[in-house]
Amino acid sequence: MDLCLASTAVQFPAVASIAQQAMEMTRGVSTSTLSPIESIPLPKENLALPAYRRGVQAAEFLRRRLNIKDIDVGGASRVFDILEIDTSTQSSNAQTYDDVIVTGAVVRNDSEMKIAMLQQKESKRRFAGARAIFSAWSSDSPNEIRLLTSAVTRDQQANRTFAAELTAPKALIRSRAKNNQLSMAGVFDLAAELQIGADVVKKAGSKQRNTGFRFLIRRLQACSVAR
């Protein structure tokens, strides 16, 4: 279903091939673990609310349970270490481009998971790895395969916002801002510290209801266009 929603009829054969490749790659990657967090309940799904909220709440809740501060620059890396997720290496035989409809796959087998990350840049693999955490953690079954796609299903929206909050916490971005403003140089500097794309830093707070922080995001977008 995700592939149908994320691609056109013309794109579908190529996208399906990439999806198959991603699933096959999970067989050869190192095993990660859900053991440290599998007993932690996720925020319940509320269909009356936007899907992104569950993703953000899950990231915030996970950090609290793991005693990781939301202004810790190394917070995401600590989560990856705890769950034994290695984002340093691209999955073998993966494609050579980053912005695609399918960016990876995760296979959960009870407390173990195997994550295939297709992208070349480690910053993008970190985002995909964070998405995979949510996908495996929120799976309906302890044995499940999920793709990471650009589809706008509730699950995919939630795993993307989970990844954004985990890798680029809004509280950390706000702490670096002066008078609710952050220069483009500041955006790129923080992105480098977080080992994540600058686009993630710019978008990380776009759903927050705090007026000042939303102003910060608009200013960032305006600066980006101006340049």
pLDDT tens for each residue of 23-36: 999 999 999 999 99
Which pLDDT tens digit goes with each residue over 171-211? 999 998 888 788 888 899 999 999 999 999 988 744 444 44
Residue 60 has pLDDT above 90, yes or no: yes
At 224, the pLDDT band (50, 70, 90 cuts) reads very low
Torsions phi, psi of 4, nearest 5?
-65, -40
Distance CA 2, CA 6 (A): 6
Q: Where are the domains of the chain?
A: 2-167, 169-227
Contact 117, 86 (CB under 8 A): no
Q: How many CB atoms lie within 10 A of CB 156?
A: 23
Stated pTM of the model = 0.87
Q: How many CB atoms lie within 10 A of CB 48?
A: 4
Tell which residue, 108, 196, 123, 145, has the closest CA to residue 19.
145
Q: Which residues pair with 32 in a beta bridge?
A: 113
Mean pLDDT of 105-133: 95
In one-letter notation, the amino acid at residue 92 is S
Distance CA 210, CA 26 (A): 40
Distances (CA, A) of 49 to 53, 165, 195: 7, 18, 31
At 221, the pLDDT band (50, 70, 90 cuts) reads low
Q: Which of helix, strand or coil describes residue 109?
A: strand
